[in-house]
Structure 1
Amino acid sequence: MTTREKGLWTIVIILTVSVAALGGFIMLRGLLKPGDVTKDDGDHTVAEMGQEGISEEQWIAELKKRYGATTLLQMLNRKVVEAEAGRLGIKVTQEDLQQVLKQDSKGYASDRAYFDEMQQQFGLNPDDLRNEAEYRIGLEKIATQGIQVQETEIDEYWKQHPEEFAVGKQIKLAAIYPTQAEEAERLLERVKQGESFDTLLQEHSSHLDGKDKSGQLGWVDEYDPFQPQEIMEAARELSSGDVAGPIAVNDGYAVIFVQDIRLEAPPNEQQIRQQIRRSLALAQAAPLEEVEKSLRDKYGVRILPGKDMPSISL
């Protein structure tokens, strides 16, 4: 996945989390029994600290304030995209889903590792991720409807951008982030003298202040945009078992250890051509946000007045 694609996927994750967050309280509210609500004010206490409580209305108001506009807009977008896909006869195939999920999970040890990370970091299960991928695919197919990409265009793009389809590699990294260059030099020297990097890592982590990010970074893509560029530039030049440092990063330094390296399985020619076709078609299409807005206009979406309704520009 490119840096741009990862950035877009981050936005999608945020949207999905907000939908899940607000959808969660809607579901919970629907499951409340009539007896759960007090007769005095129609409110319900959902949490307590000593004699103080947080009411359901307070909870809902906070969720609406934080996620209401984003969630409502995304729910409306899903409705209009589903309607337009049905009108055009657009189908999202299992092959479409597998290809997109494979791109999304690139840089992880396995599909399972990707799903586990999304569950741990964002609370999204595999069904949530598949549903989000299905929405993205449907929206892209609507946006590129009628756009023709010639085989010669695919050939030319492949010829001009061979690096995008070269067999990449993943690096299993560990790092220590000392604040002083002298300390980094001492750590590097101890490794060169035969000490285990894991031992130094444990020793260093025993007195962290909570802001230190030293530790096992795990498997990362060689061009992972979420790791400091200086670290990845150094790591790409190392072999398995090598250490490097001190590397100047942010307001300190890093000493890194390459635990292992593995090459990614190359995609076949059909997959590459399909990926290029999709990218070239999207490049000619209107931005997806504009497509969503045009569909909302087409299907007459409007926000009905009501208490605490979020302000949304449709």
Structure 2
Amino acid sequence: MTTREKGLWAAVIILTVSVTALGGLIMLRGLAKPGDISKDDGDHTVAEIGQEGISEEQWVAELKKRYGANTLLQMLNRKAVQAETKRLGIKVTQDDLQQVLEQESRGYASAQAYFEEMQQQFGLGPVDLRNEAEYRIGLEKIATQGIQIKEAEIDEYWKQHPEEFTAGKQIKLAALYVPKVEEAEALLERVKQGERFDALVQEFSGQPFGKNTSGQLGWVDEYDPFQPEAIMKAARELSSGDVAGPISVNDGYAVIYVQDIRLKASPDKEQIRQQIRRSLALAQAAPLEDVEKSLRDKYGARILSDKGVPSASL
């Protein structure tokens, strides 16, 4: 998988989180007993802190504001893709899913480690990831329907881009995040004076800063899209046992420690050829966002207002 494709997959994961969030709400509402919420009770409390409560109405409004439009659009996309794959007789096979899993988990110690990372960072379990992969594969097969890639084209691409298929490496990382550059410099100085980075990680572990939390990051791919690019760029230039910082991330700074480095296993030749064939076909196809829109139009997708009146076109 190329760095660009990894970035796209990261975006897909974020969108899947929003679908899962609202999906969970729908499930909870569906499980509610008829007597649990009165028809007139718009202030049904779903959470409390001290003497203050959060009503279901507030909860739903916040979820809709944050995720509503994208989630609804993605749900319509799934329906349209499902209808089109059925019409065309397109099947997503176990081999298709296994190949995607191997590509996505290649930057991790194992498939299990990949699942654990997705669960920890995004709250997505194996079933969620499988469903997203199945949707993405189906959409790509629709987009590339009828596109033929010659073996010579695959050979030429491989010859021109050998760096995309080299083994690459994984880096075992630990990181400390602080809000001020002076604090990062002080941490770096403590390491230079002989303090163990592991001890500092223990001291700062669990202290969140922005979207990041100090601690052991474990084995990560050298181009891992789920880590700040500034962190990975610095890590790629280090050797095992090196410490670097301060590194500007978000609104703060990081100090990182490369604990170890190892080479990744290379995919076999047939997997590489299949990957190139897929990439070349997608390059010739319409952008996937355009395919999704054309399918929504084809199957008459529309979003209704609260009163059931069609809103602006999709």
> TM-score per shorter chain, which class?
0.7 to 0.9
Query: What's 1:297 paired with?
Result: 297
Going from structure 1 to structure 2, the CA distance change for 1:262 and 1:83 (only over 3 Å counts) comes to same
**Contact 1:154–1:276 at 8 Å: present in 2 too?**
yes
State the Cα distance separating 1:253 from its structure 2 match: 6.9
Q: Which residue in the other structure is 2:13 paired with?
A: 13
1:281-296 map, 5 Å: 281-296=281-296
Structure with bigger gyration radius: 1
- Whether the 8 Å contact between 1:175 and 1:255 is mirrored in structure 2 is yes
Letter in 2 for 1:190: Q
Task: Confirm whether residue 91 of structure 1 aligns to residue 91 of structure 2.
Answer: yes
Q: 1:258-277, aligned counterparts within 5 Å?
A: 258-277=258-277
Over the aligned positions, Cα root-mean-square deviation in angstroms equals 3.1
Residues 151-230 of structure 1 mapped to structure 2, 5 A cutoff: 151-176=151-176, 179-180=181-182, 183=186, 186-191=189-194, 196-202=196-202, 205=204, 214-227=214-227
Contact 2:302/2:313 (<8 A) preserved: no
> What is the correspondence of 1:71-86 to structure 2 with a 5 Å cutoff?
71-86=71-86
Gap change, CA 1:280 and 1:35, over 3 Å in 2: same
Q: Is contact 1:69-1:310 (8 Å) kept?
A: no
How far did 1:151 drift? 0.7
Alpha-carbon distance in structure 2 between the residues aligned to 1:146 and 1:109: 37
Report deviation, 1:27: 1.6
**Which amino acid in the other structure matches residue 189 of structure 2?**
R
CA contact (8 A) 1:231 1:247 kept: no
Amino acid at match of 1:141: K
> What is the distance in 2 between the residues matched to 1:255 and 1:294?
47
Equivalent residue for 1:103? 103
The alignment partner of 1:36 has SS state of coil
Counterpart AA for 1:110: S
Matched to 1:243, the amino acid is D
Corresponding position of 2:68: 68
253-262 or 147-156: bigger deviation: 253-262
Equivalent-residue separation in structure 2 for 1:137 and 1:168 (angstroms): 25
Secondary structure of the residue aligned to 2:113 is helix
How far does the alpha carbon of each residue in 1:237-282 deviate from its partner, in whole angstroms, 9 at most, with x for none?
Answer: 5443x32445654588765433222211111110000000000000
Distance 1:50 1:231 in 2: 39
Conserved 8 A contact 1:184-1:245: no
State the identity %.
Answer: 75
Please say if 1:44 is aligned against 2:44: yes
Q: 1:309 to 1:244 in 2, by over 3 A?
A: farther
Aligned residues: 309
Output one character per residue of 1:138-197: Cα deviation in whole Å (capped at 9) or x when no partner: 000000000111111100100000000011110112245683486466345334xxx543
SS state at 1:85 partner: helix
Aligned-partner Cα distance in 2 for 1:70–1:310: 17
* Distance change >3 Å, CA 309–CA 267, structure 1 → 2: farther
- Structure 2: 5+ residue runs without aligned partners? none
Q: Does 1:119 align with 2:122?
A: no
TM-score by length of 1: 0.85
**Range moving further from structure 2, 48-57 or 260-269:** 48-57
Shift of 1:91: 0.5
| 1:6 CA displacement | 2.5
Give the CA deviation at 1:121: 1.9
Q: Is the 8 A contact 2:302 2:310 kept in 1?
A: no
Mark the runs of 5 or more structure 1 residues left unpaired by the alignment.
none
Q: Is contact 2:171-2:222 (8 Å) kept? A: yes
Instruction: Give the TM-score taking structure 2 as reference length.
Output: 0.85
C-alpha distance in 2 between matches for 1:202 and 1:51? 35
Matches of 1:75 and 1:57, distance apart in 2: 22
CA deviation digits over 1:277-302, x for unaligned, max 9?
Answer: 00000001001011011111111222
Amino acid at match of 2:73: L
224-233 or 97-106: which moved more?
224-233
The 2-side partners of 1:145 and 1:313 are apart by 27
Q: CA, structure 1 residues 102+37, in 2 after alignment: closer, same or farther (shift >3 Å)?
A: same
SS at structure 2 position matched to 1:35: coil
Greater mean alpha carbon deviation, residues 68-77 or residues 46-55 = 46-55
CA–CA distance in structure 1, aligned partners of residues 185 and 34 of structure 2: 66
In the TM superposition, residue 71 of structure 1 has moved relative to its aligned partner by 1.6
